[in-house]
Amino acid sequence: MKKVFLFILLCGCLALSGTLKAAEGQLMAGTAKINITPKQNIPLHDSVYARALVMEVGDMRVAQVSVDLVNFYSDRVADVCKEKYGITQLLICASHTHEDPNMADARPREKKPDHTPFFEECIVKVVGEAIGNMFPARISAGTRTFPQLGFNRLIIRKDGKARESWIGDEHYNVENPERIPFGPVDPEVGVIKVEDMQGNARAIVMSYAMHADLGCFSYEISADYPGYACRKVEEAFDNKAICLFVAGGGGNVEGLMISRRRSGPNDPIKTDYKPIQRTGELLGIEVIKLANALHASGDNTSFKMRTDSLQFSTRADKNRKVNVHIATFLINDFAIAVCPGEMFVQLQLEWKAKARLADVTPLFFGYTYVKGRSPGYVADVRSAALGGFGAEGGNRIQVGGGEAIINKHLESLYILNDQRASIHLK
């Protein structure tokens, strides 16, 4: 633990004391799904949804809401859900689709309507509906490796610096039409399966680390590939189970199959949704295989959670501070690191590698509200040094912040797992 403490001091962040909650007993779960597409004059390809999974053990009640939005953070919604429904912790997981109602609206920012109150109302509503559908449940989780659907979009060029995939040069064509697997990616999909006491699947949570921008600049509302993936999974279970998508640490991961970017809403060439659908369905197939292989053992559920806050300086201004709120869960034999912002995949891989030393199945939730606001892109140290989109810029937290966040998750995991052994950084 001394090495971890020294590393955090070197990063210059302030780690505030964590809050731990734990319960054991019968798991109660509830699910709900509602359409959150605003009734606005915006072209629509496919609707966007909010899906809720509420889990309760003892006096702990956690609500996870997955939304087909680029980002969503709201302390107001958390306060309402706590007061109205007794929610211990609200997680809002944005799929990061780049075709949500705000992104699809071609009007200038000052002329776009503010959808925030509507989305807040929808989230409160879907949590309430899930609580109204509670049932005794069992839970299990696992991971599955399969051929990658994305590539690391920060490509190191001949000058030794990294640049984003939409900038070409004499060696590289824009947007990777050759499907070259640059840099690290996470080839795993993580799945949580919630079933009733008769063994029927009622909720499937999938976590995958890749940007949901395959149809970017379509100027149409769409849930992008996560929407296709969720529909594929829900149909496989006769629409009796809901599927919640969670974006992992895909801040620097782009899809191998993308649609041509339109030059504007009047571009006569429309977005081709075939590669988007293909990507989503390939992911869905792997999730279905894994979900069918998962089986919960025992009726009792151990449910532990630790929330933490870390304070960082920004990279551009050391006097400006950013608080990053995270949560770490240990549920039976699987652990979840929950992070806001766009975490780089190297950080997700680090969490998984070290968490497995505790003999748990590790999952990673990115783009997820715990409390407060998003820190934006969070790069690992090496990526920050190489540069490129998301790895450098004025509003990013200080270099080393990503590693400090992962170390805090690991510290929390070992506390939750009653392991006081040191975490050896390599």
> In sequence order, which ranges of 143-250 are alpha helices (DSSP H)?
224-236
Please tell me the predicted confidence (pLDDT) of residue 45. Answer: 98
CB 368 within 8 A of CB 339: yes
What is the tens place of the pLDDT at every residue in 105-161? 999 989 999 999 999 999 999 999 999 999 999 999 999 999 999 999 999 999 999
Q: Please determine, for residue 265, whether its predicted confidence score (pLDDT) is greater than 70.
A: yes
Q: What is the mean pLDDT of the chain?
A: 93
Please tell me the predicted confidence (pLDDT) of residue 14. Answer: 63
What is the tens place of the pLDDT at every residue in 202-236? 999 999 999 999 999 999 999 999 999 999 999 99
Q: Are strands 321-331 and 300-313 parallel, antiparallel or unpaired?
A: antiparallel
Integer Cα distance of 347 and 333 in angstroms? 21
Structure tokens at 337: 């690191």
Q: Please determine, for residue 351, whether its predicted confidence score (pLDDT) is greater than 80.
A: yes
Euclidean distance between the first and final Cα of the chain, in Å? Answer: 14
* C-alpha torsion 7→10→13→15, nearest 10: 40
**E-state strands within 289-381:** 300-313, 321-331, 334-338, 342-343, 361-365, 368-369, 377-378
Please tell me the predicted confidence (pLDDT) of residue 15. Answer: 63
pTM of the model: 0.94
CB 97 within 8 A of CB 212: yes
Band of residue 48 on the pLDDT scale cut at 50, 70, 90: very high
Integer Cα distance of 112 and 106 in angstroms? 9
CB 123 within 8 A of CB 156: no
Please tell me the predicted confidence (pLDDT) of residue 426. Answer: 37
User: b/e string for 188-205 if b means 16 or more Cβ within 10 A?
Assistant: bbbbbbbbeeeeebbbbb
Please tell me the predicted confidence (pLDDT) of residue 4. Answer: 39
Please tell me the predicted confidence (pLDDT) of residue 17. Answer: 62
What is the tens place of the pLDDT at every residue in 8-43? 434 456 665 689 999 999 999 999 999 999 998 899
Residue 352 has φ and ψ, to the nearest 5°, of: -65, -45
Residue 198's contacts (CB-CB under 8 Å, 6 or more residues apart) are none
Q: Domain ranges in the chain?
A: 2-22+298-416
Please tell me the predicted confidence (pLDDT) of residue 16. Answer: 57
